Homo-oligomer: A and B are copies of this chain.
Amino acid sequence: MSHEIRLVTETELRKVVSLDLEVIDCIEDGFRSLADGTVVMPPVLSMALPQINAEVDVKTAYVPGLDGFALKVSPGFFNNPALGIPSLNGLMVLLSARTGLVEAVYLDNGYLTDIRTAAAGAVAARHLAPENTKTIGILGTGVQARLQLIAATLVRPVEEALIWGRDAEKADRLASDLRAELGIDVQACPDRSELVGRSQLVITTTPAKEPVLNADWLHPGLHITAMGSDQEDKNELDPRILGKADLFACDRAAQCEILGELRSALNSGDLEDIGNVVEIGDIISGRKPGRRSEAELTVCDLTGTGVQDTAIATLTLAKVRDADTGTIVTT
C-alpha cells in the first residue's frame, strides 16, 4: 500500500496561514462542535521531564464532520533559550478521519498552535468583551501578547492598547512594534492597576505561577481572558476574581479544572463547584448567554484544546492544497 503525504514547513505555512477572520471563525466552529457533545477529545498526554527542565504535551480531538483529525506534539524545553533556540516547538500531524492514514505533517515549530491560541482569544473577545471595547490591556510580552492583541483588533473597534511586562524594556519594545504594526496607540504601562482600570478587555498571557491580576483592580464592564495557564502549577488570576465574576467561561471545564484558572479558584474555595462554569462553545451555539449587559464582569479561562488543533489543521490542509505548497512524499 502506498499513499501520499503532504509535508509543510514552518516557512511554507507562514505564507498561507495567518491570523485572520477565517481562522477565528474556524476555531469558533471547533468550539461549537466541542460543546455539542459529539467531539471525542481525550485528556492531554503530558510528559513532565523535570530532570532536563522540559515537558511534552500531546493533544488530539476527533470532530465528526471534519475529514481529518490532528495529533499535536508540543515540546517545551526551557533550557533552550540559553542555546539560542525557542523553548516551544513541535509539529502537527493530520490524519484522515476515514482511514487513519497520515495526510499531512506540519513541521510548524508551534506556529499553528500560536495562531489557533490567539484565535481562541478573539472568539472569547467576540462573545464576552463589551461591544465597544476601545482599550485593551495586555499582561505579558511574549508571542501571545502580540498575537492576542492583533486577534482582538479583528473583532473589536480597538483604538488603544496598554502593555505590562515584568521586564519594562520588553514591554516598551513590544508596544513600539505593535504601534507600527497595528497603527493604533500602544503604550507600555508599568502600573497594572491603572492598566486594568483603563481597559474594557484585559488579556493575561504570562507563564505566571502566582497571580499577576489582583481582584481589587476590577471594575464593572470588564472582560478578562486568561490564556497563560496550561499546566497544573500555573496561575495568572487572583482566584477571588472568579468568585466575583458575573460570568465565568472557559474552553473546556474538565480541562480547566486541572490546568487552568478554574483549578486555583476551586482550591481556594472562591468557586464552590464547576456547576456555573460555561463553556465557550455553549455561548457560541446560543445554548447559554454570553455577556448580558455592558456592566457585567466576565472572565474566560483558555487552556488550549485538541479541537482547536484539529480545526486549524483541517483548514490548513485546504489552504496548502489551494496554494499547492509543501512537499508530497509517497510512502
Contacts and interface: CB of A to CB of B under 8 A. Distances in A.
Interface of A: 1-2, 5, 7, 9-11, 40, 42-43, 45-49, 51-52, 54, 56, 58, 60, 62, 64, 71, 73, 75-77, 80, 83-86, 89-91, 93, 95, 97-102, 105, 107-109, 327, 329-331
A287 B48 CA distance: 27
B56 A5 contact: no
Given A9-B329, A100-B77, A56 B71 contact: yes
A54 B100 CA distance: 8
A100 B71 contact: no
12 contacts: A2-B11, A7-B329, A9-B331, A42-B45, A45-B45, A47-B60, A47-B62, A71-B73, A77-B98, A90-B100, A91-B105, A108-B331
A54 to B, nearest CB: 6
Of the candidates A10, A42, A45, A83, the one having the most CB atoms from chain B within 10 angstroms of its own CB is A45
A75 B69 CA distance: 11
Nearest to A107: B331
Contact of A102 (B49, B62, B89, B327): B89
